[in-house]
Amino acid sequence: MSVVHVTDENFENEVLKSDGLVLTDFWAPWCGPCRMLGPILEELEKEMGEKVKVCKVNVDEEGTVAQKYGIMSIPAVFLFKGGEVVETMIGLAPKESFEEAVKKHLD
């Protein structure tokens, strides 16, 4: 599997109705920290892809979803489980921070 680029149209199916954990990165191409976070999340997906689905939402193109979740600062990484937000991380952080968040919410 690879990182899934999510839109307003497929957010519900890809994130909210997804089985298991879904780590969702709200980002924009002009955001420096967002671009730095991209490779970290790709690496995380390669290492933990069987445990967590990694999705990206471009807030410039997918404003409805970003507005629904009150995205005011990016990067904003939301961890969803059963269609609900179980953890929120704002800003750039080391890969270990995201790994710990995922492990904390595994069944």
Which among 82, 25, 93 is positioned nearest to 59, based on CA atoms?
25
Residue 46 lies in a domain: yes
Q: How many independent structural domains does the chain possess?
A: 1
- The enclosing domain of 37 has a CATH number of 3.40.30.10
31 in catalytic set: yes
**Catalytic choice (23, 34, 52, 76):** 34
34 in catalytic set: yes
pLDDT in tens, 44-59: 999 998 899 999 999 9
Instruction: Quote the domain boundaries for residue 29.
Output: 4-102
Residue 107 lies in a domain: no
- Return the ∠ at Cα 21 (arms to 76 and 18), rounded to 5°: 105
pLDDT in tens, 88-99: 999 999 999 999
* pLDDT average, residue stretch 23-41: 96
Helix 95-104 × helix 32-48 angle, to 10°: 50
**Catalytic choice (31, 89, 90, 92):** 31
* pLDDT average, residue stretch 55-81: 95
Residue 72 lies in a domain: yes
Residue 83 lies in a domain: yes
Whether 40 contacts 77, CB under 8 Å: no
Residue 15 lies in a domain: yes
Q: Which amino acid is at 63?
A: G
**This prediction's pTM:** 0.94
